[in-house]
Structure 1
Amino acid sequence: MGDSQRTAPTPMKISPTPAQAAHAFITPHLFKAKAPAASPVPDLHVAGPQGDLGVWTAGSGPAVLLVHGWEGNHLDLGAFVEPLVAAGRRVVSLDLPAHGVSAGTRGSIPDLAAGVRAVADAIGPVEAVIAHSIGSPVTVLALDDGLACQRVALISPPMRYTDFARATAHQVGVDPDGVVEALRDLGIDIDRLDVSTMAPRLRQQALLIHSAEDRVTSVETTRKIAANWAGSRMIEVKGLGHRRILRDPTVIETVVDFVVG
């Protein structure tokens, strides 16, 4: 058989080490997380844990903080801005650390929660927080660490950080226990990052909204969070997935009515 007929060898797939997988797990992909070209210049720059954070404001009145999810940016919850401003609220949106225009390269939940607290401290009293996806445990950790507000709305929240870490490890062919241990070696208290165990310590009024067929985070997790959060209210919707839920008029109206009280 001639050289032209030989089959090229299959490249050997090299799996990352647990340490490499753990590092990748807390590093947003910048090509996804960067701010869109149409994004306006931030109104404020707040000193965050890894450098300046971009912050946008609209309206006046009690402050409502909007917290986006993983590899997102401040525009993700943009559909809430006008209704909140019309309801007499000052809306504050940020790009989380290592996202959008904000500085940083590391984006563990504790890193992101530190950014939320830095912005909250800079803007003054916060009446309410609206968070989506990973922004939800980020917000809950910030609350558990002392962020003061009266109401919190969590949309499509995941529950346990370890679940995401283990799922990611499986996807890249790495031992899940090794990745969890590597995250601990990076100084991340991953075992603490369970919304259902932090929720009983919180006294804020909570609204939890989840779409039944969400393929990114399970509605079952939100049911467990609601069961452990005294005084919380959960709403299950259908057909809105993980991201369409942020643009649904009924969801937006429900959240704004809750925030305004």
Structure 2
Amino acid sequence: MLKLKIQDDGVAIVELNRPEVRNALNMALRQQLAITFDQLDHDTNVRCIVLTGGHDVFAAGADIQDFTTATTAEMYLRHTERYWQSIQTCSKPIIAAVNGYALGGGCELAMHADIIVAGKSAQLGQPEVKLGLMPGAGGTQRLLRAIGKFQTLLLLLTGKMISADEAKSMGLVSEVVEDDDTISHALKLARTIASYSPIAVQQIKEVTLLGQDLPLTGALALERKAFQILFDTQDQKEGVHAFLEKRKPHYRGE
């Protein structure tokens, strides 16, 4: 249901593995994702995470069978927000490698990443309105912050799917590559990030995400303090000395 591989270069690969239902996100898979991301967040050997559904499909959405008889009370008592929490709060950078469909919960899962690499044939969207529903795992709010009010409501109210190139032009994905290169390109980016100081990388992620919901003055103060804190790390001294000595730095996360 979920494959995990931790490489020697500090990159972890998390692969959704329910091909028979196009990686539909049922409760068991969400629970596995939560456990896995919590584990990776606490693993000091992991510096960057690539999340993928494989070469054919990322995730076609939630498992619709879960919705056929569910009541309001049952949906509430599931507390599915807890399963997304460990991905949302993961301090390690997450790169989503998206091929094929990323729809509904699959699109929401991709938007939990920090960078999205999409294959040219990828299709993204939030089609919940076609089922008499709406996004329930951040689709309205993450889309709004990524692409703005007018594009968000166009997608949510029509349920339309968009191509990778359309998503790139809207600002929903970071890069578009050939389908065969999606995962390898994401891994290349992850290796680059993993080669840097994990303290600096995690501070960049934390400040960027926290700052987006703060007034500019407060966000700039947060950035300034994080910048100053990094001067007390061995990694910062190593980076500067390596630059001056024209050698490759060796970052230890200290």
TM-score (norm 1): 0.35
Higher helix share: 2
